[in-house]
Amino acid sequence: MNTDKKKPTLLIALGGNALIQKGQEGTIEQQFENLRISIRQIASLVNDYKIIITHGNGPQVGNLMLQQESCDEVPKLPLEILVAQTQGQIGYMIESVLDESLMEQTSDFNPLVSLITYVAVDENDPAFVNPTKPIGPFFTAAETEKLDYPTMETPNGFRRVVASPKPVTIIEKREIQRLIDDGFIVICCGGGGIPVVRNGRAFNGVDAVIDKDLVSALLATEINADLFVIATDVEGVLTDFNTPNQKLISQMRLDEAEEFLSSNKTGKGSMGPKVEAAFKFVQDTGKRAVITSIESICDSVNGKAGTQIIQ
Amino acid sequence: MNTDKKKPTLLIALGGNALIQKGQEGTIEQQFENLRISIRQIASLVNDYKIIITHGNGPQVGNLMLQQESCDEVPKLPLEILVAQTQGQIGYMIESVLDESLMEQTSDFNPLVSLITYVAVDENDPAFVNPTKPIGPFFTAAETEKLDYPTMETPNGFRRVVASPKPVTIIEKREIQRLIDDGFIVICCGGGGIPVVRNGRAFNGVDAVIDKDLVSALLATEINADLFVIATDVEGVLTDFNTPNQKLISQMRLDEAEEFLSSNKTGKGSMGPKVEAAFKFVQDTGKRAVITSIESICDSVNGKAGTQIIQ
């Protein structure tokens, strides 16, 4: 076990495809098998880095919402509780696969914990006035009349719509900092964290989802990470996406990332928040961020894959 | 913040009524409100004890099973994943209520984490040959034919039946020990822990539930706890239960507890595993255990309530 406190800190944000790949039904066996692709690479990095893993929860929280809508026999749970449930589920899955991968390498590995994490948002965030994030199952127009939450029309039907406010701070950041300084590998901030707003001395859960890449960038900044990796289903930021001229942008300076964000060259919504998250981390810390594929996490850490975002 | 390493270690196992009380539907508001009863008392103990909190998950995991049965649109999840989901849910709820209760007392309190926890069981445990633990929703005889798991007939209908093997070891015990030694308050082992069996270098989840009081006793032993409190819906071990002569047994020596277990004086199944768990802890460690009500946690710690089990 290497407890060198001077090791650099690496935060890796795993995208949804780390668990369920495109076109898959998403059985639990598929999710475990897929996880091994990213987790084995992460296991090979533990001797050189202090490691924090965050992850998405889109399909998993959507499934819980659908199951909840299908059953009138038990009390409905608010969204933040469903997010908490997915933190339990995915936290366990990542931890057990990482445990297995570490045991393949050494019998004396760093301690490992999956933490429940909640994240404060501002109740005055404009996102609450105008919710824009569609989540969960699809409904017909008639079905939406029975629902007690707002919906929006999408190409495939109506969906529940919730706010996606900016993360303000990770409540457990002090704990996470102490844990990594003490040699722990930490899995946390699942699904963007459980969203809460401050109410006097308490934090109350709210119906919202926080973008997991933005939360990961904030955590990376709050705990002084040296490198922030966003792992997703493409090899990095691409020009001319989905055309014969598609090409990886292997490096972006901050001004180039800023120009990318203002022009939105991808024509795809999914890359925008990732570049924004990477941009914020690099701008706030002067350190390096990478957007890469699940298959190339190690190579991207070593500067040989993905889109490297630097000052 | 008091980080005195010499403080005694206190493990408190919260029963299901800490979240849902008898006759309640179990809305999320009720669960949060109920939690304040036990958690405020626990908050008042943090200056004098290192604290670990464990908890049950019976109604919560039953609800997830019922929702899953009601919905054919998403892949079914195995039982250990549902247990993991309840660890996320209840871990978040306990942590946020404890956070609030601690803030009412001081602005400089100990760090606090909710951990995903899995617990090894023996694949050759006789419980797997003859599953006896009914869980989840009720079915008619006809409905059971569509199910792909064993069921048993109960007074209110057929229910899924799973094994309830003995816990062998808590996989995260080393992490939990380090955390409490370092001043953390730790919430863990929810629902008896996620049951796993060793398979080469990996641990695989199994369809089973582990008794949460037995897991709590094992954890209390493994991390050298000084006091083990089981908080439930009665004031302690009672003689002549549910009769006019009902009376609290305020103290039991080990030989009396052993005699109680062999004669099963309560006539109620629910007290047996609690006395067994307390007995095992006291026998293995020579320390003190208490079985008490949720309302009397503090008094029982101070020896003024509950059934004190001593050598």
Q: Which residues on adjacent β-strands are paired with residue A157? A: A154
The 8-class DSSP code of residue B145 comes to T
Q: Which residues on adjacent β-strands are paired with residue A153? A: A158
CA angle in degrees (0–180, nearest 5) for A179-A183-A186: 50
Over residues B33-82, the pLDDT tens digits come to 999 999 999 999 999 999 999 999 988 999 999 999 888 888 999 999 99
Over residues B181-212, the pLDDT tens digits come to 999 999 999 999 999 998 888 889 999 999 99
What is the structure's pLDDT at A266?
52
The shortest C-alpha distance from B251 to chain A (Å) reads 38
Q: What angle, rounded to 10 degrees, do the helices at A79-105 and A58-69 form?
A: 140
Q: Which of B274, B280, B287, B306 is catalytic?
A: B274
**What's the rounded Cα separation, in Å, for the pair B235 and B113?**
29
Contact A263, A249 (CB under 8 A): no
Q: Which of A7, A47, A63, A133 is catalytic?
A: A133
Could you say which of A71, A88, A175 has the minimum Cβ distance to residue B70?
A: A71
Residue with tokens 């270690």: B9
CB contact under 8 A, A171 and B99: yes
CB contact under 8 A, A70 and B75: no
B89 contacts in chain A (CB < 8 Å): 77, 81, 84-85, 88
Could you say which of B66, B88, B190 has the minimum Cβ distance to residue A89?
A: B88
The shortest C-alpha distance from B87 to chain A (Å) reads 6
What is the structure's pLDDT at A6?
85
What is the structure's pLDDT at B106?
72
**What's the rounded Cα separation, in Å, for the pair B195 and A33?**
20
CB contact under 8 A, A85 and B81: no
**DSSP letters for chain A:** ----TTSPEEEEEE-GGGTS-TT----HHHHHHHHHHHHHHHHTTTTT-EEEEEE--HHHHHHHHHHHHT--SS----HHHHHHHHHHHHHHHHHHHHHHHHHHH-SSPPPEEEB--EEEE-TT-GGGTS--EEEEEEE-HHHHTT-SS-EEEETTEEEEEEB-PPEEEETTHHHHHHHHHTT-EEE--GGG-EEEEEETTEEEE-SB---HHHHHHHHHHHTT-SEEEEEESSSS-EESTTSTT-EE--EEEHHHHHHHHHHTTT--TTHHHHHHHHHHHHHHHS-EEEEEEGGGHHHHHTTSSSEEEE-
Q: Is A63 designated active site?
A: no
What is the structure's pLDDT at A148?
81
The shortest C-alpha distance from A289 to chain B (Å) reads 28
pLDDT band at residue B299, thresholds of 50, 70 and 90? very high
Q: Any idea where the domains of chain B sit in the sequence? A: 9-117+168-225
Residues 6 or more apart whose CB falls under 8 angstroms from that of B152 comprise B132, B134, B158, B159, B161
A187 contacts in chain B (CB < 8 Å): 116
**What's the rounded Cα separation, in Å, for the pair B165 and B209?**
7
User: CA dihedral defined by B79, B82, B86, B89, rounded to 10 degrees?
Assistant: 180
Interface test with B, best of A87, A197, A204 (most B CBs within 10 A): A87
CB contact under 8 A, A89 and B85: yes
Contact B270, B51 (CB under 8 A): no
Q: What angle, rounded to 10 degrees, do the helices at A58-69 and B58-69 form?
A: 80
A77 contacts in chain B (CB < 8 Å): 28, 89
What is the structure's pLDDT at A269?
56
> pLDDT > 70: what percent of chain B?
96
Residues 6 or more apart whose CB falls under 8 angstroms from that of B148 comprise none
Q: Which of A173, A265, A274, A280 is catalytic?
A: A274
pLDDT band at residue B118, thresholds of 50, 70 and 90? very high
Interface test with A, best of B35, B96, B117 (most A CBs within 10 A): B96
Contact B193, B118 (CB under 8 A): yes
CB contact under 8 A, B70 and A70: yes
Task: Tell me which CATH homologous superfamily contains domain B9-117+168-225.
Answer: Acetylglutamate kinase-like (3.40.1160.10)
Q: Is A5 designated active site?
A: no
| Phi, psi dihedrals of residue A286, rounded to the nearest 5° | 75, 0
Q: Is the pLDDT of residue B268 over 50?
A: no
Over residues B128-168, the pLDDT tens digits come to 998 988 888 788 999 888 888 889 998 888 988 999 999 99
> pLDDT > 90: what percent of chain A?
73
Over residues A188-238, the pLDDT tens digits come to 999 999 999 998 888 899 999 999 999 999 999 999 999 999 999 999 999
B199 contacts in chain A (CB < 8 Å): none
A92 contacts in chain B (CB < 8 Å): 80-81, 84, 87, 116, 118, 194
Q: Is A146 designated active site?
A: no
Q: Is the pLDDT of residue B214 over 90?
A: yes
Q: Is the pLDDT of residue A124 over 60?
A: yes
Over residues A8-22, the pLDDT tens digits come to 999 999 998 899 998
**What's the rounded Cα separation, in Å, for the pair B223 and B180?**
9
Q: Is the pLDDT of residue A123 over 80?
A: yes
Q: Is B56 designated active site?
A: no
Task: Calculate mean pLDDT across residues A100-105.
Answer: 89
CA angle in degrees (0–180, nearest 5) for B146-B147-B151: 125
What is the structure's pLDDT at A268?
47
